[in-house]
Amino acid sequence: MSSRTYYITTPIYYVNDVPHIGHAYTSLACDVLARFMRLDGRDVHFLTGTDEHGQKIEKAAAAAGMAPQAFTDKVSQSFRDLVVAMNYSPDNFIRTTEPRHYAACQALWEKLVAAGDIYLGKYAGWYSVRDETYFVEGETEVGPDNKRRAISTGAEVEWVEEPSYFFKLSAWADRLLTFYEKNPDFIGPESRRNEVISFVKGGLQDLSVSRTSFSWGVPVPGDSKHIMYVWLDALTNYITECGYPDTNNPLWKYWPADLHMVGKDIIRFHCVFWPAFLMAAGLALPKRVFAHGWWTNEGQKISKSLGNVIDPIELAKTYGLDPVRYFLLREVPFGNDGDFQRRALIGRLNGDLANAYGNLCQRVLSIVGKSCEGKVPAKGPLQAADNALLDRAHGLLAIVRMELDEQAFHRALAAIWEVIADANRYVDAQAPWALAKTDPARRDTVLWVLAETIRRVTLLVQPFMPDSTAKILDQLAVPTDSRTFAAFDRELRPGTTLPKPQGVFPRFVEAAKAEN
């Protein structure tokens, strides 16, 4: 039987800039879900990539004194490097400058024309190159410096007046509202869903979907003076990957996507424009779009001009990759905005990782190493306290599954760490070191219960911290083919020889600040 598919996508990143924590965050969330679903037996396709067309990129290339293609080749590579540095596990990395993507965009365009949803007109209005977004006058204001900006994003807008093809978005409002109503899980979290619904209820204007004042993009079929609007081009990447327009492509089985993960700033493109394009083209709609919040840096908006951009690779070098991955998904309820504070990162690293999880593994495995001849201890009759702990660890799989289905990473981790805290309390209460003389058989059982609890917990932590958990599972001699959730009930076998234990989560000690 073929397993159920799971197609998950990151937004494709603009190549006008080097990757920062915001990009790392969106991709991390997707990576954890992709890894979880693979462990859970799903046939996963995880896609990320770069958004390389449009005026913003054309300008950035010109500013760098490079031809757009050479420029995008260079910056796109830095997003591939991020994938490696952050240990993401995408199945493919797409670029909108690939020929197959031009073909998909043009095929979709022709479909929209055939459906009667595209007409030629003239655009006259405001445009923000930074946001690659059109604004009506009421959405902008003139600042004290006499410059007009979009109120919602703060980006400067310019007046654009040129021939343009339009997509009949206005005609889709009712069908979109019906779709949201029938598919209450389409948009998460709830607050974003409400925001999208009220935006659509406010009425939709037709959308300008081509430009003539620059050339870096996909030409409109049959009218190559026009370049497709970069958002129509960019959104299409999700179906290019599956082979569109060739629905016999083996990857077409992944469409519709199970989840488009996005930041809150790009929800309208994914929840209004994209479903309207797809409906007009007669294609299935993605099952869910989840919008996460934004990070600030120690209370300040992150921006290049403030010079406070957080480099995720530098963070991983300083604090360790897995602790950073853990922190980003544990610290802030997923969906909310969050403030990045080094203090909080160090607190989690030393508290949750070194003291709680690391210490549990370390003390259990080192007693086992010393007292049980380095073998999985013998399991005797279980007492109520043993069963209570094992049952809680067992129950975690269902809890984590449920929480991740709702993209509630923070709640999944909190539930796992509650069991880690229980296990640490159990060590203190059972005091295995004291049982060595009085009741060695009971000591072995207690150690077995603990080692088995660590195994269960660690299987579930794998998607979040792949390297550290691999080390812990190695130390428990869990065979690599027993690390999926299908093997969740495959208990540790007493007598199995274990390698020498080693600490996995060192404490982070801050270098003393030089006095001045």
Under the rule (CB under 6 A), what is the footprint of ligand MSP? Answer: 11-14, 22-23, 25-26, 51, 234-235, 262-263, 265-266, 294-295, 302
Alpha-carbon torsion angle 298, 303, 304, 309, nearest 10: 40
What is the nearest approach in angstroms of ligand MSP to the Cβ of residue 215? Answer: 19
Q: Which is nearer to ligand MSP, 64 or 397 (CB)?
A: 64
- Is residue 13 within a helix (H) or strand (E), and if so which, with residue range? strand 13-14
Q: Which is nearer to ligand MSP, 32 or 476 (CB)?
A: 32
3-state secondary structure of 15: coil
What is the nearest approach in angstroms of ligand MSP to the Cβ of residue 13? Answer: 4
d(CA 200, CA 172): 9
What is the nearest approach in angstroms of ligand MSP to the Cβ of residue 442? Answer: 51
Query: Which spans in 372-408 are helix H?
Result: 384-405
Q: Which is nearer to ligand MSP, 179 or 294 (CB)?
A: 294
Instruction: Tell me if 431 sits within 8 A of 372, measured CB to CB.
Output: no
Contacts within 8 Å (CB) and 24+ apart, 383-390: 385/426, 385/429, 385/430, 386/445, 386/446, 386/449, 389/419, 389/422, 389/423, 389/426, 389/449, 389/453, 390/449, 390/452, 390/453, 390/456
**Residue 475: is it exposed, middle or buried by C-beta count within 10 angstroms (0-12/13-18/19+)?**
buried
Q: Which is nearer to ligand MSP, 262 or 389 (CB)?
A: 262
What is the nearest approach in angstroms of ligand MSP to the Cβ of residue 374? Answer: 45
What is the nearest approach in angstroms of ligand MSP to the Cβ of residue 230? Answer: 8
Q: Which is nearer to ligand MSP, 17 or 474 (CB)?
A: 17
d(CA 288, CA 303): 29
What is the nearest approach in angstroms of ligand MSP to the Cβ of residue 363? Answer: 37
Q: Is the peptide bond before 245 cis (omega within 30 degrees of 0)?
A: yes
Q: Which is nearer to ligand MSP, 56 or 443 (CB)?
A: 56
Strand ranges inside 15-147, DSSP E: 43-51, 92-95, 118-128, 133-135, 140-142
Q: Which is nearer to ligand MSP, 178 or 336 (CB)?
A: 336
What is the nearest approach in angstroms of ligand MSP to the Cβ of residue 9? Answer: 8
Q: Which is nearer to ligand MSP, 155 or 279 (CB)?
A: 155
What is the nearest approach in angstroms of ligand MSP to the Cβ of residue 261? Answer: 8
What is the nearest approach in angstroms of ligand MSP to the Cβ of residue 297? Answer: 8
Q: Which is nearer to ligand MSP, 110 or 265 (CB)?
A: 265
What is the nearest approach in angstroms of ligand MSP to the Cβ of residue 238? Answer: 7
Closest by CA position to 418, among listed 408, 430, 426, 428: 426
d(CA 451, CA 473): 10
- The pair of three-digit structure tokens given for residue 6, joined into one six-digit string: 């799971």
What is the nearest approach in angstroms of ligand MSP to the Cβ of residue 254? Answer: 16
In total, the chain counts a number of residues equal to 516
**Residue 490: is it exposed, middle or buried by C-beta count within 10 angstroms (0-12/13-18/19+)?**
middle
Q: Which is nearer to ligand MSP, 235 or 354 (CB)?
A: 235
**Which residue of this chain has its Cβ atom nearest to ligand MSP in the complex?**
263
d(CA 44, CA 36): 10
Q: What phi and psi, each to the nearest 5 degrees, are found at residue 446?
A: -60, -45
Q: Which is nearer to ligand MSP, 30 or 393 (CB)?
A: 30
CA 180-183-189 angle, 5° bins:
75
